[in-house]
Amino acid sequence: MSRRSRLMRRLAAILASGAAGLVFAGTAAAAPAPAVPAIPADLLAAANTPEASAAIANLLGAAGIAPAALELGITTPQPFLYPAPTLGCGIGGTPVTVTVASAQAGPNFPIPPWIERGNLRFQAIPGFVDVPKTSDLSVAWINLGTFQGGVTKLDDSLAGIPTLSKTINTGQGTVLAALFGGVGYTSGKNCFALPTVGSFDA
C-alpha cells in the first residue's frame, strides 16, 4: 500500500469514527443526494483536440480576448471518498441526510466553471431542497508536494445566493482535503455536514 493510500485511510478513519454512531442509523430513510454530473467521454475527447483549441482561440480573438492569457482544457469533478453525513435537515421531514462534495482541477476553460491550472474548485451539494442563505462550509487542505495548506470557507455566491463552492490556489500536485460545516437556508433550516475526506490531483 502506498504512503498516499495509508494517509487517506488514516484520515478517513479518524474523521469517520466520530460520525458513524451519530448518523448512519438515520441515513437509510433519507433520499440519496444528487450525483456529480459527468461529462461524456466523447465530448471530452473532442474538446481536447488541436482543432477545438484553434476554433476557441479564433472566437476569443474575435471577441477581443487574448487567447494566450487563457489555458484551454476540460476537466471533470473528482469526488470525495464518501458522502458527508449531514444533521439537521433532510427529505420528507427527516433530520438526517448526506452532502455530496467534489473538487475540480484546472485548466477548465471555456466550459464553466472557469478554473486555472494549479487551482481546485471545491463544491458541495447537500441532499436537501431549499435555497441557501448562509454558508459556513469549510475545506481544510494540504498539498503533499509543497506542504502549503490552510482552512478555506466555501463562501462564493451568485446574485447574493451562496453557491457552496470556492476555487482555491492549492498549487499543482496531490492535495488532501477534508470538507465540513454548516449551511443555513431561507426556510430557517440549518444543515451541518460532518467531515468527509478526499485526495485530489491539482
Cell of 152: 478555506
Radius of gyration of the chain (CA): 18
CA atoms of 147 and 130, how far apart (whole Å): 38
- Strands, E assignment, 80-189: 84-87, 96-105, 120-126, 132-135, 138-143, 149-153, 157-158, 161-162, 165-168, 174-185
DSSP secondary structure string for all residues of 92-123: GG-SEEEEEEEEEESPBBSSSSPB-TT-EEEE
* pLDDT, tens only, 31-67: 443 444 455 555 555 555 666 666 666 665 665 555 5
Amino acid at 201: D
- The model's pLDDT over 56-113, given as tens digits with 9 standing for 90+, comes to 666 656 655 555 456 889 999 999 999 999 999 998 888 999 999 999 999 999 889 9
Instruction: Locate the domains of the chain by residue range.
Output: 3-35+74-201, 40-72
* Residue given cell 436537501 in the structure block: 128
SS3 9: helix
Q: What is the pTM of this model?
A: 0.70
**Cα dihedral across residues 142, 143, 147, 150: positive or negative:** negative
